[in-house]
Amino acid sequence: MVLFAQPALVPWPTANELKEGTFPLKQVSVIEGEGAQGWGRMLRSDLVANDALARNQDEILHSVRFQRDTAQGEEGYAITVEKDKVTIDAATRQGALNATQTLRQLAAKDSTGTWYWPMVHIQDAPAFAWRGTMLDVCRHFYSVDFLKRYLDVLASLKLNIFHWHLTDDQSWRVEVKKYPRLTSVGAWRTEADGSRYGGFYTQDQIKEVVAYAAARGITVVPEIEFPGHCSAAIAAYPWLGCRQDTIPVPITWGVFNDVYCVGRDSTWTFFRDVLDELVPLFPAPWFHIGGDEVPKVRWQACPDCQARMRKEDLKDEHALQAWTVKRLQDYLATKGKRLIGWDEVLEGGLDSTAIVEVWRGDEQGRKARANGNAMIRTIYFDASPANLPLDKVIAFDPLLDGDARGILGAECPVWSEGIDARSIGWYVFPRMQVYAERMWSGKVGEDIRKRTAPQIARLEQQGWIIATADKDLFRSEVSFDPGPRNWLVTAQCGRKDMDATWRMDQRSGSFTDSLRVEAPGTLLLTPRWKGEAVRDPIAITIADNLALGAKETIEPTPSPKYGHDPEHGLTDGLLGTNSYSDGLWYGWWGPDLTITIDMDSVRTLHGISIRCLQQVGAWIVLPKSVSFETSRDGKAWTTLTTATHQVPIEEAGPLVHDFIAPARTPIKARYVRAVLHNSGKLPAWHLGADGNSWVFADEVVVR
Ligand code: ACM
Ligand code: ZN
């Protein structure tokens, strides 16, 4: 006698009555009934692939039968497994597909190696209609083959919306025949090391993915970003931007000031042409226009945008944004499509028939509700496990203030700045299983971790790298060791079966937890799983600094939130990266500051420099100027120079600027001093208008 455990279904069905006895799968030979062809074939091939079903079936014994039952609703279904027959009741093809996914998960092998379905009666229907996912294919590119594998997993979890984020600053990923440069130029970027990165989908490939998803019950919702997040389009066609100047496809992340010029009619012709070509590729009744993070600084300075505002009687640039959204909405309506936008589309007033995707928090959701808009809630899956442990995903609730009014469902966006096809499994599994259960069942069962385990094991076998605990995929830290005057790299791999390789100049090797670096240069670290890289190399740059390990005095002391080394942070050789929170940058909010370096003995200097960061969206602005002084005794000081810069505050960054004081003739000095003058209050267009800006510095390099 075989004992039958509760099957490990995810998501857990609404009602599930397990009976004693089984239906042996080798007896399935006929999958029949009205409309059964599509899903029946899929179920059969899946069972064959799993060896649950013999390849050629001579013995026609029993059958899986589909019955149309209108009482099951739009997506619901019932499954009845009896000793000698299996019945699926559903009102729609979608319901039958959902039943199929449950049957796939129900198939189990007993201790004698025989596949069976347990005798059950399942009655099931979803809690939310919009069980969405979103993938950013712009920051990193994902192949069509990858997307199919991804869609397979989403379908198995009864997720039914794939929101495809197809355009952004760092790329335009969809072919538009009338504007070939969108992909010949806009789909590619030249990385810092000179390599080219990119890719795009032809219209045929888009159709292929849409059809593949549809066959699995998933609707593809395209997103084309208007009127911001469009640097790649402007790089392809500079006349789309207010300034009409040539810009590169950016290689850094963030929010960019160059947005579409909505004042000129030529831009609107472009918008309509793009929608004319792309809308027909997607049968979904919705179209996502982005609408998020639109800086207004170009519109403020653009005669065409200002003329548009006067002509349309728009009181400010927020009203111009609202006018743009409304025009897009009206145009999409002529094509039978309903507009979706990120919650910034509420800015300046929004038509109540638009759908708002809420991402900035509950306050925006309340605004959408008060305005009468339907909404999609979000939980961002690109967050590190430290910021989004699995318990937080379990606790995610799409309701707003405990109220379901206006809530279609949710999405779990994956932004791909730090993620690509190699590492995505780490971020989305097992989060996706937990999320799918919440969206389908309305709650998450206490045994969810146990039930996801077999699915996770199968995904790992298929090559997905998955977080087995709330750990980062890979973390590395580097610190200066003042004793031996060298550097220690410590690393934490997210799994025991991972390691990392290192490369510096001509030398290389592998390690799992720590590494000593003896000399300046650029070190490249690549974490691996099963011998394969799981992400691009991490670069650590160590400067050749005459002041290495020198004593530093900083007035006032920097914010404790940033730099990690209170003694040698500005003289440790380690150069801050493009990320202000990398532990290497030091930050001050507001004041001018003085950094004094004591090298312990008089040296011969050929120049001094200090690196500063600008990332305007994070309130970080280059200092106005830096004055350099030197001294032999720390009492009498000689001014070397005051270095200024030409970088406008409109340059969003992140960018690093070197303030340099060259010595025309070699200088003898023991002490070096840099005085950094804060640039002052943030300008009127900034979110933090009239507030202080930050100065970020690292490091003081003496040659
Ligand atoms: C977004 O995260 N900018 C929608
Ligand atoms: Zn303009």
Residue 32: its pLDDT value, please?
Answer: 53
Q: pLDDT at position 566, please?
A: 84
Among candidate residues 343, 348, 381, the one with its CA nearest the CA of residue 136: 381
Quickly tell me which residue has 């950016």 as its tokens.
Answer: 250
In angstroms, what is the span from residue 696 Cα to ligand 1's centroid?
A: 25
Q: What is the pLDDT of residue 234?
A: 98
Q: What is the DSSP letter of 351?
A: -
The residue whose CB lies within 8 Å of the most ligand 1 atoms, and thus the one to mutate among 139, 225, 288, 359, is: 359
**For residue 24, what pLDDT is reported?**
79
Distance 177 CA to ligand 2 centre (A): 25
Give nearest CA residue, ligand 1 atom 3.
292
Taken in order 174, 178, 180, 182, the sign of the CA dihedral is negative
Q: Kindly identify the ligand whose nearest atom is closest to the C-alpha of 260.
A: 2
Does the C-beta of 12 come closer than 6 Å to ligand 1?
Answer: no
Report the atom number in ligand 1 closest to the C-alpha of 293. 3
Tell me the C-alpha to C-alpha distance, in Å, between residue 579 and each of 57, 288, 380, 384, 417. Answer: 60, 30, 20, 15, 12
- The CATH number assigned to the domain with range 544-703 reads 2.60.120.260
Burial call 661-674: b when 16+ CB within 10 Å, e when fewer:
bebeeebebbbbbb
Catalytic residue annotation? 168, 229, 293
CA 390 to centroid of chain Cα atoms = 17
Place of tokens 């004094």: 596
232: exposed, middle or buried (Cβ count in 10 Å: 0-12, 13-18, 19+): buried
> Cβ(588)–Cβ(556) under 8 Å?
yes
CB 647 within 8 A of CB 607: no
Q: Where are the beta strands (DSSP E) in 177-277?
A: 188-190, 196-198, 219-226
Atom of ligand 1 nearest to the CA of 359: 4
In whole angstroms, give the CA distance from residue 428 to residue 456. 11
What pLDDT shows up at residue 46? 64
Q: Is 359 in the pocket of ligand 1 (CB under 6 A)?
A: yes
Which protein residues have their CB within 5 A of the ion that is ligand 2? 242, 261, 263, 302, 304-305
Query: Residue 66: what pLDDT?
Result: 78
Looking at all shown ligands, the one closest to residue 361's CA atom is: 1
Q: Is 342 in the pocket of ligand 1 (CB under 6 A)?
A: yes
Domain boundaries, the chain: 15-124, 130-461, 473-542, 544-703
Tokens of 476: 């590395």
**569 and 575 in contact (C-beta within 8 Å)?**
no
Same CATH fold assignment for domains 15-124 and 130-461: no
Q: Mutation test of ligand 1: which of 259, 293, 380 has the most ligand atoms closer than 8 Å to its C-beta?
A: 293
> Distance between CA atoms of 126 and 75, rounded to whole angstroms?
7
Given the CA of residue 290, which atom of ligand 1 is nearest to it? 4
Q: Is 292 in the pocket of ligand 1 (CB under 6 A)?
A: yes
- CATH number attached to the domain at 473-542: 2.60.40
Residue 438 CB partners (closer than 8 Å, separation 6+): 394, 396, 397, 398, 444
Q: Characterise 633 by phi-psi region: left (phi > 0), alpha (psi -120 to 50), beta (else).
A: alpha
**Predicted pLDDT of residue 389:** 97
Q: Does domain 130-461 have CATH number 3.20.20.80?
A: yes
SS (HEC) of 592-659: CEEEEEEEEEEEEEEEEEEEEEEEHHHCECCCCEEEEEEECCCCCCEEEEEECCCCCCCCCCCEEEEE
Which atom of ligand 1 lies at the shortest distance from residue 357's CA? 4
DSSP code of 513?
S
β-bridge mates for residue 171, sequence order: 168
417 in ligand 1 pocket by Cβ < 6 Å?
no
CA of 136 to the centre of ligand 1 (A): 10
Count the Cβ atoms, other than its own, within 10 Å of residue 565.
17
Domain 15-124: homologous superfamily in CATH:
Chitobiase/beta-hexosaminidase domain 2-like (3.30.379.10)
Ligand 1 contact, 304 CB (< 6 A): no
Max CA separation in the chain (angstroms) = 101
Asked if 271 and 226 count as a contact pair (C-beta separation under 8 A), the reply is yes
Residues of the chain with pLDDT under 50: 1-4, 55-62
Nearest-CA residue for ligand 1 atom 1 is: 292
CA-proximal residue: ligand 1, atom 2 (nearest): 359
- 293 touches ligand 1 (CB under 6 Å): yes
